[in-house]
Amino acid sequence: MTDQYTFQDPTKQFPKAGPEFQQKQEEPGLQKEMTPLPDSGETSYRGTGRLTGRKAVVTGADSGIGRAAAIAYAREGADVVLAYLPEEEADAQEVVKLIEAEGRKAVAVPGDVRDERYCVNLIETAVKELGGIDILANIAGKQQFVEQIEDLTTEHFDATFKTNVYAMFWLCKAAIKHMQPGSTIINTASIEAYEPEPILLDYATTKASINTFSKALAQQVAEKGIRVNVVAPGPVWTPLQVVGGQPTEVLKEFGEETPLKRPGQPVEMAPAFVFLASPESSYVVGETLNANGGMPTP
């Protein structure tokens, strides 16, 4: 069995897209119904105790990159509070079982991050159930393509910003008051912050906002011993893509624009979230770690 430490060719490590990638689900979608199944590290991520005793909150923890981060954090020794939509319960329960199989505590808190009260409660739940919070990974996101600005409704624009930007603000604000020196916040941007697709006008704008917000917040809280950084994925095979994140007809070529000529898998993002959460990155503050298969960024 291979894991993230196995020497291998990155161009062939995971499959390229093809006709089998063309599929459609209703939002928010379930990972367990995708073909092929994304690899979120269920069997391929090996931990080494880098986060022993840590207390994490992960949003979007049911599937995709959030799922991969939650699994990795548990295998590195952390207890995890999982945030996800109620409709994603089936995926979330798989993650709960994987975390508990590592002997770590999993606290499932379904809800909608577009609700400020839910975000505040999420942090309070971590404090109550885990005894505190020292890792906040804001990964939940909304991505729905719209061809023309004339068809981009205020409701759609608002929902994207509430999910991607407002929730991050609410969660950071609630978490920082409980965080001790050494704690970390990892927010999630995207290649879209640098190379925006015209059909992702609202999404790309939120991802650029996340970068700027994080750099400002990092400077504000660094003197408290709290580090804030960002992971910016490229094209990664997650439910976000099959629920309208991309037109179905283009999914057969998903990821071909990268130098590796393939989409990333969620498990390939997990080491970035672990590194930025661990003391190994103690002098990394206000940075964006791009994990995008080689697509150049500023």
Cβ within 8 Å of residue 70, ≥6 positions away? 56, 58, 61, 80, 82, 95, 99
Q: Which two tokens stand for residue 244?
A: 């309208």
Structure tokens of 63? Answer: 């599937």
- What does the DSSP 8-state code read for residue 244? I
Active site residue 203: yes
Candidate list 45, 73, 84, 203, residue with the active-site label: 203
Check whether the bond before 36 is cis (ω within 30° of 0): yes
Q: Which residues contact 244 (CB under 8 A, 6 or more apart)?
A: 24, 27, 143, 144, 145
CA distance 138 to 56: 11
Check: CB of residue 291 under 8 Å from CB of residue 191: no
The residues carrying an active-site annotation are 203
